[in-house]
Amino acid sequence: MHIPVLLDETMHWLRPRPGGVYVDATLGGGGHAEAILERILPGGRLIGIDRDDAAIDAAARRLQRFGEAVVIVRDNFAAIKEVLARQDLQQVDGILFDLGASSMQFAEAERGFSFQESGPLDMRMDRRQSTTAADLVNRLPERDLADLIWRYGEERWSRRVARGIVAARPLETTEELAGLVARSIPRRAWPRGLHPATRSFQALRIAVNDELLNLEKALPNAAEVLREAGRLCAITFHSLEDRTIKHTFLRLSRGCTCPPGTSACTCGGQRWLRVLTKKPVTPSPEEIERNPRARSAKLRAAERIATTE
Ligand SMILES: C[S@@+](CC[C@H](N)C(=O)[O-])C[C@H]1O[C@@H](n2cnc3c(N)ncnc32)[C@H](O)[C@@H]1O
């Protein structure tokens, strides 16, 4: 089962209250959702969103005992506003994003997320989507593949990795790809404590699922549907995601950025949020010991302000 990361810290910042309406935008196995539901009953409601059918099934089983207090929706969180409108909800009290892939997705070899086991090069969170990791690995021109691995994996050996992939195509399994990436990076440059394919796998996963773009789309919509003093919490697992959260929170807390003295605003910037966590909240050593997946987790929180502020 997926062990929810930074659970106490998330409950502290999200502050779920009895009778409130909350959104878990990344339902996964339903761990965070369960903790929210335990705090919002009686009278509260939770809308859980995930784009992965397997996550939806697992969460539905785990949350069955909450009955009608929980509504589970298979969709992309970028469409959060539409999802809520379909439930006749214009405003909610809190929204949680626990980003990245779940340990259930990593654990199932045939999903293709893991370099630890052999599976097809898939990596789709939403299996209705057509593009898989195999399509990118086997079809992209070498230069585009190198750019992708550099941009989304911050892999400094991206050019060599892309060259290695192109020379060995077609690749079919995660095992083949992991071995090839490892052979493309000089052993002396292998990152300490990390499999040498970690960054390339991360890059492909982000690209297959368009993770950063979906997040950039979702955050302003999430800020908009929060009630005044409602909370927005986001847990990230790598620097690209954390940077996206940090910058978007800042942008949504800054409002108009037109130069001083401009007679009328032309940038359209509006203040939606107040950032609550100056620095990201990180897990305790005890949590990392219990759950090594928490190692790189960072939590940031913001609060919705009145739009007239
Ligand atoms: C880290 S897991 C969440 C785990 C969950 N908090 C728990 O306690 O079990 C992230 C989940 O978000 C889902 N996800 C990622 N991007 C998504 C998106 N754009 N729209 C909807 N779900 C998404 C993934 O399918 C995955 O199940």
**What six digits make up the tokens of 72?**
């589970």
Report, as an integer, the average pLDDT of 103-125. Answer: 95
Mutate to test the pocket of ligand 1, among 8, 37, 50, 244 (most ligand atoms within 8 A of CB): 50
pLDDT recorded at residue 243: 97
The CA distance from 189 to 199, in Å, is: 13
Please give the pLDDT value at position 100. 92
Q: For a pocket test of ligand 1, which of 102, 202, 205 has the largest count of ligand atoms closer than 8 A to its C-beta?
A: 102
Q: If you count them, how many residues does the chain have?
A: 309
- pLDDT tens string 170-196: 999 999 999 999 999 999 999 888 899
**Closest by alpha carbon to 145, among 71, 60, 203, 79?**
203
Q: Is 49 in the pocket of ligand 1 (CB under 6 A)?
A: yes
Q: Pick from 69, 74, 36: which is nearest to 54 by CA?
A: 74
Confidence of residue 268 (pLDDT cuts 50, 70, 90): confident
Q: Identify the residue whose tokens are 């007239």.
A: 308
As a whole number of angstroms, the distance between CA 235 and CA 238 comes to 10
Q: Which atom of ligand 1 is nearest to the CA of 55?
A: 27
pLDDT of residue 120: 98
**How far apart are the C-alpha atoms of 52 and 276, rounded to whole Å?**
31
User: Hey, what long-range contacts does 66-73 have (CB within 8 A, 24 or more apart)?
Assistant: 66/37, 66/41, 69/37, 69/40, 69/41, 69/44, 69/45, 70/33, 70/37, 70/45, 70/46, 71/45, 71/46, 71/47, 72/27, 72/48, 73/47, 73/48, 73/49
Instruction: State how far the Cα of 219 lies from the Cα of 290, in Å rounded to an integer.
Output: 31
Q: 32 C-alpha to center of ligand 1: Å?
A: 11
Give the three-class secondary structure for 248. Answer: helix
Q: What is the pLDDT of residues 147-162, one digit of tens each?
A: 999 999 999 999 999 9
Position with higher pLDDT, 309 vs 189: 189
Query: Tokens for 13?
Result: 């910042």
Residue 19 has pLDDT above 50, yes or no: yes
**CA separation for the pair 125, 133 (Å, rounded):** 11
Model confidence pLDDT, tens digit, residues 31-42: 999 999 999 999
SS3 content of the chain, % helix, strand, coil (to 5): 50, 15, 35
User: Per-domain residue ranges for the chain?
Assistant: 7-104+211-304, 109-209
Q: Using the predicted structure, report yes or no on whether residue 265 has a pLDDT greater than 90.
A: no
Q: Angle at Cα 148 formed by Cα 143 and Cα 154, nearest 5°?
A: 120
**Which pLDDT score is estimated for 1?**
65
pLDDT-derived band of residue 206, with 50, 70 and 90 as boundaries?
Answer: very high
**pTM as predicted:** 0.96
The CATH number corresponding to 7-104+211-304 among 3.40.50.150, 2.40.50.1020, 2.60.40.420, 3.40.50.720 equals: 3.40.50.150
**109-209 sits in which CATH class?**
mainly alpha
**pLDDT grade for 308, boundaries at 50, 70 and 90:** low
Question: Tokens at residue 174, please?
Answer: 């995660």
Confidence grade of residue 309 (pLDDT, cut at 50, 70, 90)? very low
Q: Do domains 7-104+211-304 and 109-209 have the same CATH topology?
A: no
Q: Looking at ligand 1, which atom is closest to the CA of residue 77?
A: 20
Is 204 in contact with 218 (CB distance < 8 Å)? no
219 within 8 A of 252, measured Cβ to Cβ: yes
